[in-house]
Amino acid sequence: MEIGSFVVLGVLAAALIYGIIIYNSLVSLKHGIVKAWANIDVLLKQRHDELPKLVDTCKRYMRHEQDTLEQVMRARAAVSAAGAKGDMAALGSAENQLRLGLGSLFALAEAYPELKANETFRHLQERITGLEESIAHRREFYNESVNLNNVRIDQFPDLILARMFGFSPGEPLEFSSQGVSDVNVGRLFG
């Protein structure tokens, strides 16, 4: 074999190895998004389980606030449905409605001193506040994972392999300006 053949084979081998490295890093980014979403989903399910307990506790004291309690439960169902579909736009919208509902609920609870003194209510208040903070942190991590993926699949030469193998951009989880700030339950009852 000639030296030219070895050079061509060497270049082809290097290109193949480089392509494999790019492909594997794109796969890693794709799975990073899935993992980040799974972490959010766990927290959403935990909060989903806590909200009926909160509403039931509030119902005992807030007999005249049924609309607010129903708003929270409708929003809870919408968050669950959007999360199950993986529809980030619908999830962001549903999260906004849930946060508004929780904000209204906690503001109304201020007028019920017996409710505020209830041990179950205080425990649920702390639990939901903690979950809200965790969801906000996980949302940041998810959106960063989506951003890293989206940048890589648009960069040359990665975009060649991304298009060839069908890697698609991720959809960030965005909340409206009203939903950007977390519901701080502790502040409402401080």
Q: Which CATH number characterizes residue 109's domain?
A: 1.20.1440.20
61-86 pLDDT, tens digit per residue, is: 887 788 888 888 999 999 999 988 88
133 falls within a domain:
yes
Helices (H), the chain: 3-61, 66-85, 88-109, 113-117, 119-154, 158-164, 177-180, 185-188
95 falls within a domain:
yes
Below-50 pLDDT ranges, the chain: 178-190
36 falls within a domain:
yes
Range of the domain at 39: 26-188
pTM, two decimal places: 0.78
The count of domains in the chain is 1
